[in-house]
Amino acid sequence: MKTQCRRKYTIFHDIIRNRASYLMGLPAILYALIFGYFTYPYMIIAFQKFNYRTGLLNSEFVGFKNFEFFFRSSQVFTITLNTIWLNLLFITFTTLAALALALMFNELRNRYFIRINQAMIMFPNYLSWVVVSFMIYSLFSTNYGLINQILSVLGSKPIAWYNNADYWPAILTIMRVWKGAGINSVIYMATIAGIDSTYVEAAVIDGAKRWQICRYITLPLLMPTVSILTLLSIGGILYGDFGMIYAIVGDNGILLRTTDVIDTYVFRALRRIGDPSNAMAIGLFQSLVGFIMVYGSNALAKKLNPDAALY
């Protein structure tokens, strides 16, 4: 508006006019300020030799020393690679399993059968990784585990699963699929339910078999959803699943070679070793690169399908 007689409508006017609404939003705004924006200055710790006693303002600045130490050690390479590799495994196999489940459920017509099986398949999703780690232990424990019992029945030697790091990417991937495939398949089933039924009807009239309907109609129409969800999860590839990996692997040093990810490393540096500066250095690296990737993947997803992007 060009009229100069009215003063500019600023946020203060807005707050006064809608004070009740703003009052309602206040707790959330404060929360986002405190646990969002006000945490950003603490990232300076990465350039300091941080001391809990003197605090953020009076700790000694050391420039890029923390990064130097950190990029010179081979550890950073290992944990970054582990994070990416494990996430790639998780994304690939969870997506494939969820897709397969959705397509298979789509073929079935008996509602009760679908309901019961779906309820069973989705149950693990609600469990915490701590509980899951107990289940893994009951399967893989060297002395008592079910799998070693089966191995001994089959005549082979028991395997010390918890003493060999090479098995764990596979075990973690299997448990990931076990926990997440059900809930992910629901998203694909919702997409399938949204497919225009005239496509299928036309194909049936043309004499298409069910396999052909699945291959040439359902799957292609499902692909946009699949690619966007995959894209979004690739955006988060630098963020390791701390809740999962720490609950399962814990402080078992033998398994760290293949399972240590950025998030568990940061946790150990901060809480076990007590070196916030080192933890923050890799944390900063993860935050910056991770942000670019999340932002980029979202922008790309938005380009592919304006409705689908997360933000």
Interactions with another protein, residue window 28-67 (CB under 8 A)? 28-29, 31-32, 34-43, 45, 56
Number of other CB atoms surrounding residue 147 within 10 Å: 15
Is residue 273 within the footprint of another protein (CB under 8 A)? no
Nearest-5° Cα angle at 127, 126 to 133: 155
> Which range binds another protein by CB under 8 A, 58-66, 80-88, 164-172, 283-291?
283-291
> Which range binds another protein by CB under 8 A, 58-66, 70-78, 81-89, 240-248?
240-248
Distances 92 to 96, 201, 229, 233, 293 between C-alpha atoms, Å? 6, 32, 11, 10, 18
Q: Choose which of 127, 273, 289, 304 interacts with another protein (CB under 8 A).
A: 127
Distances 295 to 85, 280, 288 between C-alpha atoms, Å? 21, 21, 11
Residues in the interface with another protein (CB under 8 A) total 104
Least distance to another protein from the beta carbon of 256, Å?
14
Sequence-separated (6 or more) residues with CB below 8 Å from residue 295: 235
Is residue 88 within the footprint of another protein (CB under 8 A)? no
C-beta of 86 vs 232, nearer to another protein: 232
Least distance to another protein from the beta carbon of 280, Å?
4
Is residue 156 within the footprint of another protein (CB under 8 A)? no
Q: Give the torsion sign (CA, 111, 102, 133, 158).
A: positive
Is residue 215 within the footprint of another protein (CB under 8 A)? no
Is residue 77 within the footprint of another protein (CB under 8 A)? no
Site residues (CB under 8 A) for another protein, limited to 9-28 = 9, 11, 14, 17-18, 20-22, 24-25, 27-28
Q: Give the torsion sign (CA, 188, 189, 194, 197).
A: positive
The candidate with the shortest Cα–Cα distance to 204, out of 192, 216, 213, 217, is 213
C-beta of 5 vs 28, nearer to another protein: 28
Q: Choose which of 16, 81, 135, 273 interacts with another protein (CB under 8 A).
A: 135
Number of other CB atoms surrounding residue 193 within 10 Å: 10
